[in-house]
Chain A
Amino acid sequence: MHFPDQNRGDEGDPIPWGTLWLIAAAGVFVRLCLLWIVGDLDLQSDEANYVYLGIAWNHFGFYFDQHRYLWPPGYSWLMAGSLNLFGENGMLAVKYLQVLASASIGMTTMLFAVRLFGLRAARIAGWIWVAYLPLAAFTHLLWNETLFSALFLPGLYQIMRLMQGGDDHRATRRTILAGLCLAGSLYLKESPQFLVLVLAALVVPFAGGLAEGLRRASLLLLVVSACVLPWGMRNLNVYGKFIPLGTSLGENAFQGLNEDYRNYDLVPIDNERERRSLPPTRTVARHWFDYVEPIPYRDLQTHMDALRKQTSEAQIASRERVAAGGEPDPRAGALRAQLLRNATLQERWLDPVTPLDPDSLVEFAGKPGWLRAEPPEVINTAQRSEVNTANGIRFAREHPGWYVRSRVRKLADILTPISFFTRHQALGHYDGTPLGGNLVRKLTSLWAIACPVIVLLLGIAGYTTVLRTRPAWLLFGCTLGYFLCTTLLVAMSRFRIPTVPLLIVLAAGVVVHHKTVEGRTRKILAALAALLVVFLWWITWPENSMVFAEMVWSRYDA
């Protein structure tokens, strides 16, 4: 049996492939049953966009951007191929493919666990994966998380094997395989493109020599580059800018580095609440974490000058559009209204008598948000992304206090116990299927919340207590940390999905080896980490409990 002190891969027990495949088959069966139960659900949110892009690709023969985003082409390409092959059943075919591909996630989860914590932990990790409802639910949704994880995790596993076995005679093959898997995953989701650089750097010190380390790291980067370059060249041809796969940075900066707080776990829920005349979730939120602090008085004139300039430019551009036969730019009107309102408030502030109403300053500074760059100011999606990113960074610099507070909120958003499964239940997307039935809806929703609650707490405890070898500790730390860093821009429960299998491994490790934990420091660290997670749940508790109570537990029509 492995002990955490060893965590060493090669010297362990032989891998019981039969058992692992059996558990993986059970997981696939559970996901298949879920797919059969819910059937071919109607398209929601980005699902429809992927289908649109797939149909357009088939019709026109190339890939369109999404106006504000330039997603990597992988998922839309798959959708296009599937629709081409299976017609209207193409969407269902992709879901079946996702169910099958989820076996890769399950197997990799167990392989991580068997290498780090032994066979018993692997079995436990496997069964947790089988029963982890929020992860399973993604196999019957047309989001790319399942296929992304099915490629990303095996790549990560190969990196861990490289880091564990310095003199591994299969190092070249492992590196190429890791590169192919990671590059494949990047075609589905570009967010970990910088993580590849981190992973390459991690390989170097564990290769048994600097030269060999550099050889492996450079090979990994070359494999990924060779896979990514053709699409980057295509983007260079179309947009005049080398974008390796895609870019969401600008729009994410608009959403995440701006005045209005946005969390896509809650946006469709608030739309639905508005439709049903229910108060928005913002009415109960803890606003300390996202209010934008007032602008210091001495900066007001500078802001007003900037706003005047921006308004004037927008109005001129708008007039030119109208003269060319187009419609007026709605931003010009919005900016003008903002300028008038702020000018009125500024006049009040310049009165010799100090205004008695401090809210006026808050109101004045309460609209410092920025508007998206739109044509004709920008030409294409790549340029729009650049301008929006620059605006977002400027906004964050101007509001450092807000930035720090709101990132705590973003951290809470990514670690929130809700998931797309509970969001679907709250929005009634499962209504009409057995999952939407009153009792089943309540039970499955409770289960879907229990899964991340248990795995997050145990996983974090596992990282601080039972993960003791440096390679695994670094690899898991860098990967989990990298995905947490995405909260520097935007956050929602979906963004943590690729890290869930790693947390499951750590949770299984702590279940099996918690008795071997020695030393107060580790225990104190684990307790502090768990407390931090509980604190983050407390931040999102008002909205989550409101949605769960009013939209999941008791329905609107109850």
Chain B
Amino acid sequence: MKHLPVILRWAPHVALLLLLATEYQLGRSAALPREELEVLLDEGTARQKTWAIHILANRGDPTDGPLNRTYIQNAIMDSDPLVADMTYMVDLCRLLQPSRQEKRLSVRFDDPDKAQDKLEDWFRRFEFYRRKVGGRPLGGSLRLKQQEVQWLLHVLDGGELDEDEVISYLERRQAGTNSARMHRLAPNRKRDKDKDEKGSTGLVPDR
């Protein structure tokens, strides 16, 4: 028993090694194989679908996987807003050019009568998409502002927005940005003279 104190001094190491082994095992078992992720993508809940999209878009080579253009186009119109929102995030937007998403967002500026999404859904997706670390990483001058955070949290709580207030605010912001890429997308004082040809906000029609 004279070695007991020495053994006890190493007890934390043993406990931590066991903990590490457990963490490793749990981590491995939580990692779903591609086949299971593809099943979740089709049959899972909205949360499971978004998680499956997140992993399938990042792990391995997603180019020949299920996240093809057809899937994304369907997901944009998914009845569950969470899945539709996911198509505006960085994972899918860097996988395939988000031209469909871009058009859907631009139409509310160009031709509000043709807008397909409810204002609140549209605003949420706009904020998730056209922000510095969002689906379309634009210039630093288009980061979230307090006002937008307030509206976004309001929308996520199920609240409603005033369209005139929101759209005029966003147009003001986009007009004031330094982002060259945003200038291609947004109304801009420099391009006012070309407004009729290019539309007020969306991509140039013939691009």
* Interface residues, chain A, with chain B CB atoms under 8 Å away: 40, 42-45, 47-49, 51-53, 55-56, 58-62, 64-68, 83, 87-88, 91, 172, 176, 215, 218-219, 222-223, 225-226, 229-230, 232-234, 236-240, 268, 271, 274-275, 321, 324-327, 375-376, 379-381
- Whether B144 contacts A52 by the Cβ 8 Å rule is yes
A176 to B12 Cα, complex, angstroms: 9
- Whether A43 contacts B60 by the Cβ 8 Å rule is no
CB-CB under 8 A from B59, the residues of chain A are 237-240, 380
CB distance from B100 to the nearest CB of A (A): 9
Using A67-B137, A327-B97, A375-B94 as known contacts, say yes or no to A51 and B144 having CB atoms under 8 A apart: yes
- Whether A59 contacts B97 by the Cβ 8 Å rule is no
Apart from A49-B143, A268-B140, A379-B58, what 13 extra A-B contacts exist at CB < 8 Å? A43-B146, A51-B144, A55-B149, A55-B156, A64-B91, A67-B137, A172-B9, A233-B28, A237-B32, A271-B141, A321-B97, A324-B96, A379-B61
A233 to B54 Cα, complex, angstroms: 15
- Name the residue on B nearest A179 (C-beta): B16
- Name the residue on A nearest B81 (C-beta): A59
Q: What is the interface of chain B mostly: helix, strand, loop, or mixed?
A: helix
Using A55-B149, A61-B47, A223-B16 as known contacts, say yes or no to A239 and B58 having CB atoms under 8 A apart: yes
- Whether A237 contacts B16 by the Cβ 8 Å rule is no
- Whether A326 contacts B149 by the Cβ 8 Å rule is no
CB-CB under 8 A from B96, the residues of chain A are 324, 326
Query: Which of A215, A274, A380: most chain B CB closer than 10 A?
Result: A380
CB-CB under 8 A from B19, the residues of chain A are 226
Using A238-B55, A325-B69 as known contacts, say yes or no to A48 and B91 having CB atoms under 8 A apart: no
Using A43-B146, A61-B47, A62-B54 as known contacts, say yes or no to A324 and B30 having CB atoms under 8 A apart: no
- Whether B31 contacts A236 by the Cβ 8 Å rule is yes
Question: What are 23 residue pairs bridging A and B, where the CB atoms are less than 8 Å apart in the complex?
Answer: A43-B145, A44-B143, A48-B143, A52-B131, A52-B143, A55-B153, A59-B156, A61-B51, A65-B58, A65-B90, A88-B150, A172-B9, A222-B17, A222-B20, A225-B16, A226-B19, A229-B23, A236-B31, A239-B59, A240-B60, A326-B97, A380-B58, A380-B59
Contact among B24, B31, B57, B140 with A237 in the assembled complex (CB-CB below 8 Å):
B31
- Name the residue on A nearest B54 (C-beta): A62
A48 to B153 Cα, complex, angstroms: 14
A89 to B113 Cα, complex, angstroms: 35
Asked whether any CB of chain A lies closer than 8 Å to the CB of B66, the reply is no
CB-CB under 8 A from A271, the residues of chain B are 140-141, 178
Using A56-B89, A64-B89, A274-B178 as known contacts, say yes or no to A40 and B27 having CB atoms under 8 A apart: no
CB-CB under 8 A from A53, the residues of chain B are 133
- Interface residues in B94-127 by Cβ distance below 8 A to A read 94-97, 99
Q: Tally chain B residues at the interface, Cβ within 8 Å.
A: 60
Using A48-B131, A67-B90, A324-B96 as known contacts, say yes or no to A236 and B27 having CB atoms under 8 A apart: yes
Asked whether any CB of chain A lies closer than 8 Å to the CB of B183, the reply is no
A78 to B180 Cα, complex, angstroms: 33
Asked whether any CB of chain A lies closer than 8 Å to the CB of B152, the reply is yes
Using A43-B145, A225-B20 as known contacts, say yes or no to A61 and B153 having CB atoms under 8 A apart: no
- Interface residues in B14-60 by Cβ distance below 8 A to A read 16-17, 19-20, 23-24, 26-28, 30-32, 47, 50-51, 54-55, 57-60
- Name the residue on B nearest A329 (C-beta): B97
A198 to B103 Cα, complex, angstroms: 52
Contact among B16, B82, B91, B153 with A226 in the assembled complex (CB-CB below 8 Å):
B16
Using A215-B10, A326-B96, A376-B63 as known contacts, say yes or no to A229 and B27 having CB atoms under 8 A apart: yes
- Whether A238 contacts B54 by the Cβ 8 Å rule is yes
- Whether A48 contacts B137 by the Cβ 8 Å rule is no
